[in-house]
Amino acid sequence: MKQQVDGLQLYRWMALSRALDTVLCAENPHWFPAEGEEAAIVGTFCDVRPSDAVAPHYRDPFVVYLMRGAELWRLIAQVLGKRDGYTKGRSVPFSGPAELGIVPWVAGDLGTSLGVATGAALAFQQEGSDRVCVCSFGDGTSNRGDFHENLNLAAIWKLPIVYVCQNNGWAISQRADTYLNAPVAARGAGYGIPGVTVDGQDVEAVRDAVGQAIDRARGGEGPTLIEAVTGRVRGHWAGDKATYRVETEAGRYLAPTQDPLDVQASRLLKRGEATLEQLEEIREKVAEEVTAAIERAKAAPDVVAADLALEDVYA
């Protein structure tokens, strides 16, 4: 049975992601901004069961952790290098609390989470449960060898996993059209699995596509490759001035017809599921929530050398 998350809650998660992202970019120049990509993130993970596993990639995974029950102030403490962070300030965005069904991975390069997520799906299959794993990654990562190796293995063994490529058009400073000659979703055919392209600025479209793939995986039919086409508004990291981009390019993803928050707001208003006042109240409340959380995180004790020694290294 799927979790009952309505359209207004989807909007709230995206608004929280935007507010949190703004603060973290200001606090840590090494943070990877997700502004403009909220629909691809929230739509991918909103209906995953608590018993399932998730493996969000490095671009703003914190909203996924929050959707799973993590504490906001402790996530921010992680970014600020505080002792109360989930991993005591180590590995800023990459690891969430494993008890919340978040696939743990810590690596200096991208794509390694695909293997861990595929391994989780294999474990679910071997235990005979109907649990699934949902993982996300970027378009640049789709050109790594382990992307192909994992999709091939998952397809052959019909593993219960959903692969979601969050295609924002850039691999750091390289445009996608210089390293992709076809949609990422088209690669699914090479492994005999469905490949689906979806509007990554529409949270409900992403949700529907991923939901169908989850049902397919849960039913023993194997993996699906989904490509959520979105846009990266800011640089690769918060301190990246992105001088390699055309100035007008980023702006279109925050135009009313493309900004994922505006797209969902317009839908909610048209369906009579929200008023302008309600939407504004949501934006104000999540901003207050983030402000209170960052104040608490800043007041927490800093990490000291003893915290980063051999503790937590060995079981």
pLDDT given for residue 4 in this prediction: 63
Asked if 32 contacts 59 with a C-beta cutoff of 8 angstroms, the reply is: yes
Asked if 32 contacts 58 with a C-beta cutoff of 8 angstroms, the reply is: yes
**Is residue 85 classed as helix, strand or coil in its secondary structure?**
coil
**Is residue 302 classed as helix, strand or coil in its secondary structure?**
strand
Taking 90 as the threshold, does the pLDDT of residue 94 lie above it? no
pLDDT given for residue 163 in this prediction: 98
Report the pLDDT averaged over residues 222-233: 95
Taking 50 as the threshold, does the pLDDT of residue 226 lie above it? yes
Q: From CA 62, how far away is CA 70, in angstroms rounded?
A: 8
pLDDT given for residue 299 in this prediction: 96
pLDDT given for residue 99 in this prediction: 83
Q: From CA 57, how far away is CA 163, in angstroms rounded?
A: 11
List, for residues 101-117, the tens digit of each pLDDT value: 888 765 667 788 899 99
Task: DSSP letter for 234, please.
Answer: S
Burial of residue 224, with CB atoms counted within 10 A of its CB: 0-12 exposed, 13-18 middle, 19 or more buried: buried
Assign 81 a pLDDT band (cuts: 50, 70, 90): confident
For the 7-308 domain, the top CATH level (class) is alpha beta
pLDDT given for residue 2 in this prediction: 45
pLDDT given for residue 125 in this prediction: 98
List, for residues 238-297, the tens digit of each pLDDT value: 898 888 887 666 666 677 778 999 999 999 999 999 999 999 999 999 999 999 999 999
Report residue 214 as tokens: 């989850």
- Angle ∠(187,59,68) on CA atoms, nearest 5: 100
Tell me the β-bridge partners of 162.
134, 224
pLDDT given for residue 247 in this prediction: 66
Taking 70 as the threshold, does the pLDDT of residue 1 lie above it? no
**Is residue 110 classed as helix, strand or coil in its secondary structure?**
coil
Tell me the β-bridge partners of 163.
135, 225
Three-state helix/strand/coil letters over 220-249: CCCCEEEEEECCCCCCCCCCCCCCCCCHHH
Report residue 282 as tokens: 């949501």
pLDDT given for residue 185 in this prediction: 97
Instruction: Return the exposure string of 104-138: e unless at least 16 CB atoms fall within 10 Å of the residue's CB, then b.
Output: ebeeeebbbbbbbbbbbbbebbeeeeebbbbbbbb
List, for residues 2-19, the tens digit of each pLDDT value: 446 899 999 999 999 999
Predicted TM-score (pTM) above 0.85: yes
List, for residues 142-176, the tens digit of each pLDDT value: 999 999 999 999 999 999 999 999 999 999 898 88
Pairing between β-strand 195-199 and β-strand 224-229 as defined by DSSP bridges: parallel
Report the pLDDT averaged over residues 177-193: 95
